[in-house]
Structure formats: C-alpha cells, structure tokens
Amino acid sequence: MNRTFEDDLRVKLRDPEFAKMFGAAQAKSNFALTLARARERLGLTQKELADKAEVSQAYIAKLEGGEANPTLERIGTLLAVAGLSLITDTTTLFPTLLTSADWVFDFSASAPRGRTSVANVTEEIEATVPA
C-alpha cells in the first residue's frame, strides 16, 4: 500500500514537539506567499521591492522562501512599501486533517487541561450546534 504525505504528516503531528516546529514553518511559508503575492500584484521584481524597502534582494528571496524570521515590525514596514497592511488570523494546523477525529483527540491529550484544549473547543462548538 502506498504511503501518502497527508498520512505521514497526520502521524507526525501527534508529537507535540513536531507540531510546534511545523507551526513555526507554516507561519514563515504563509508570509512568504503573502509577500510574493503582494509583490506580483504591484508588478515589482524582488530587486525593485528590495530597493524600495531598503533591504537586500537576497533578504527578499529568503523571505519569499520561508527561510527568514522577520519581526512584526519588519513585516509591517515591508508591506507599507507595497501600500499594504498586515491582517492576522488563525486556522487549523492542517485543515484537511479536521475530518480525522482521532487526530483532534490525540493532540488534545498532550495539551493542558482547561478551555484551551482543542477537544474542549470542539465540544463547545458541538454543544452550540443543534443535533
């Protein structure tokens, strides 16, 4: 039977250490896409954006590769050059995994007890939805 990356990821995300590292990677690659999209919309090359923002082209390439770790201040500055402002929001760590109830429960087992655990939030949502 062939393995899939989705299954591999699902198994690995049961490890809280791995999940944290994956979350860090997701934040960086998400911003990489946001920045590349903004730059494309303006029709700028990486070099042109770098010059406007007074950073190096190599740094823009690193940001768009999800390899850099910019401060929120730096993100705000870069986007302002493109006439844009950052909005932040959250989503599940890997949306297609939401269908897997066991993943939700395995993950929450390692979370501290209280209102912050995924299972509790899920239960709260379910409680508000009529059967």
Partner 1 sequence: MWLVEYYAEPSSGREPVAEWLDSLDKHAGAHILDKIVRLHQNGLVLLNTSMMKPIKGHGSGNFYELRCGKYRILLLHDFTKGKFILLHGFKKERQRESKQIETAYLRLREYQSRR
CA angle 60, 72, 18 (to 5 degrees): 85
Q: Which residues contact residue 93 at a Cβ distance below 8 angstroms, ignoring those fewer than 6 apart? A: 13, 19, 22, 23, 26
Q: What angle do CA 124, 20, 85 make, to 5 degrees?
A: 80
16 touches partner 1 (CB under 8 A): no
Query: Which of 42, 51, 52, 62 touches partner 1 by CB under 8 A?
Result: 62
Residue 14 binds to partner 1 (criterion: CB under 8 A): no
Q: How many CA atoms lie within 13 A of 7 on its CB side?
A: 4
Contact between 17 and partner 1 (CB under 8 A)?
Answer: yes
Does position 75 interact with partner 1 (CB under 8 A)? The reply is no
Answer whether 68's CB lies under 8 Å from 28's CB: yes
Stretch of residues binding partner 1 (CB under 8 A), selected from 1-9, 48-56, 74-82, 116-124? 1-9
Residue ranges binding partner 1 (CB under 8 A): 2-5, 8-9, 12, 15, 17-18, 21-22, 24-26, 29, 32-33, 36-37, 40, 61-62, 64-67, 94, 96
